[in-house]
Amino acid sequence: MLVLRLLNVVAPAYFLCISLVTFVLQIFVFIPSMFRDPSTTPLFSPALLHGALFLFLSANALGNYVLVIQNSPEDLGKDLNLGKGAEVADWLDGSRSPGSALPSTHFCRLCARVTQRHDHHCFFTGNCIGSRNMRNFIMFCLYTSLACLDSLVAGMAYISATLSMSFADPLAFLTLLPHSISQFFSGALLSSEMFVILMLYLWLGIGLACAGFCCHQMLLVLRGQTRYQVRKGMVVRARPWRENLQEVFGKKWLLGLLIPVQNVESSYHRQKEK
């Protein structure tokens, strides 16, 4: 438990550091050095267009990241007066009184609260993913993967021009790291160039991981399931996939694709207000 709590603090700081490094490399290294075309007008210059694209992707990724943290799933234990700590966990697991557990709820020991439609605990946001922030989490994964892909392409173009190498051969990227390590220790490669090469593989890993999370989460949303329900083998009521999408993305789904907006309220909160 101590290791998980430490990871819950280190992972968000690690993500923010990677985001800051990516922003600095794109704005101050890649764009000024790679997009120099004096024949084009400043309004439609490649540097301005690429910078606008990167800022759009980064703003959506960071905006949804903040909304995932702000829109924490409500603590049902406070509203239902179930108690705290292990007593709440026992009540939800049904060990104290069989059949009394709330449907689609889970007690997270890291967050110390009971969440509705609990999906999983995200260490990179330090928060549980539930009914209130599911859409923002999916959008965060989508735009993070796109921002990493954009940085990967720009970084490969920068390395290709700096080291006068071609990535036309698919094996060139796979053999780039071992060759760069040998050249770095032999003194033929600068530390700044080696750092950019390491960032290329980091962007590739983060981009693929976020894309996988996004696709897997969308599949669960279409089925009307959560990752916690799948892991526990819970049976969910079959509904049309359109209703499942609307429950997560709401009626303003198109607006949520373009700008970071707050997620829809949970069904438990709407029922409580009625």
Asked if residue 145 lies in contact with residue 201, where contact means CB atoms within 8 angstroms, the answer is no
Round to whole Å and give the CA distance between 36 and 46: 8
pLDDT digits (tens, 9 = 90+) for 206-237: 999 999 999 999 999 999 888 888 888 887 88
Round to whole Å and give the CA distance between 45 and 39: 9
Residue 106 located in a structural domain: yes
Round to whole Å and give the CA distance between 128 and 101: 19
Residue 188 located in a structural domain: yes
pTM of the model: 0.85
The pair of three-digit structure tokens given for residue 113, joined into one six-digit string = 């609260």
Round to whole Å and give the CA distance between 63 and 66: 5
Which of 10, 1, 12, 7 is closest to 85 using CA atoms?
1
Q: Which domain holds residue 191?
A: 1-35+44-73+134-269
- Regarding whether 69 and 98 lie in a shared domain, the answer is no
pLDDT digits (tens, 9 = 90+) for 32-73: 877 665 555 555 677 788 889 999 999 999 999 999 998 877
How confident is the model at residue 43, as a pLDDT? 55
**b/e code 89-124 from CB counts within 10 Å (16+ = b):** bbbbeeeeeeeebbebbbbbeebebbbbbbbbbbbb
Q: Which of 122, 148, 210, 214 is catalytic?
A: 122
- Regarding whether 155 and 113 lie in a shared domain, the answer is no
- Regarding whether 48 and 29 lie in a shared domain, the answer is yes
The pair of three-digit structure tokens given for residue 204, joined into one six-digit string = 């590739």
Cα separation of the two ends of the chain: 39
The pair of three-digit structure tokens given for residue 260, joined into one six-digit string = 């970071």
pLDDT digits (tens, 9 = 90+) for 89-140: 444 444 443 334 455 677 788 887 777 788 889 999 988 898 888 999 999 9
Q: Which residues pair with 128 in a beta bridge?
A: 121
The pair of three-digit structure tokens given for residue 231, joined into one six-digit string = 């892991």
- Regarding whether 230 and 113 lie in a shared domain, the answer is no
- Regarding whether 68 and 174 lie in a shared domain, the answer is yes
- CB-based burial label for 3 (10 Å; 0-12, 13-18, 19+): exposed
- Regarding whether 100 and 28 lie in a shared domain, the answer is no
CB atoms near residue 6 (< 10 Å) = 10
- Regarding whether 180 and 69 lie in a shared domain, the answer is yes
- Regarding whether 164 and 57 lie in a shared domain, the answer is yes
Which of 260, 52, 254 is closest to 150 using CA atoms?
52
The pair of three-digit structure tokens given for residue 98, joined into one six-digit string = 């069989």
Q: Where are the alpha helices (DSSP H) in the chain?
A: 2-25, 31-34, 46-70, 76-80, 86-93, 134-163, 170-174, 176-186, 191-223, 227-232, 241-249, 253-258, 267-273
Q: What is the DSSP letter of 1?
A: -
Residue 122 located in a structural domain: no
Residue 83 has pLDDT above 50, yes or no: no
- Regarding whether 262 and 154 lie in a shared domain, the answer is yes
- Regarding whether 151 and 201 lie in a shared domain, the answer is yes
- Regarding whether 86 and 215 lie in a shared domain, the answer is no
Asked if residue 138 lies in contact with residue 61, where contact means CB atoms within 8 angstroms, the answer is no
94 CA to centre of own chain: 33
Structural domain count of the chain = 2
Residue 175 located in a structural domain: yes
The SS3 call for residue 30 is: helix
How confident is the model at residue 41, as a pLDDT? 52
pLDDT digits (tens, 9 = 90+) for 126-144: 888 988 889 999 999 999 9
Residue 253 located in a structural domain: yes
Whether 122 is catalytic = yes
- Regarding whether 101 and 50 lie in a shared domain, the answer is no
Round to whole Å and give the CA distance between 166 and 163: 9
Q: What is the DSSP letter of 27?
A: I
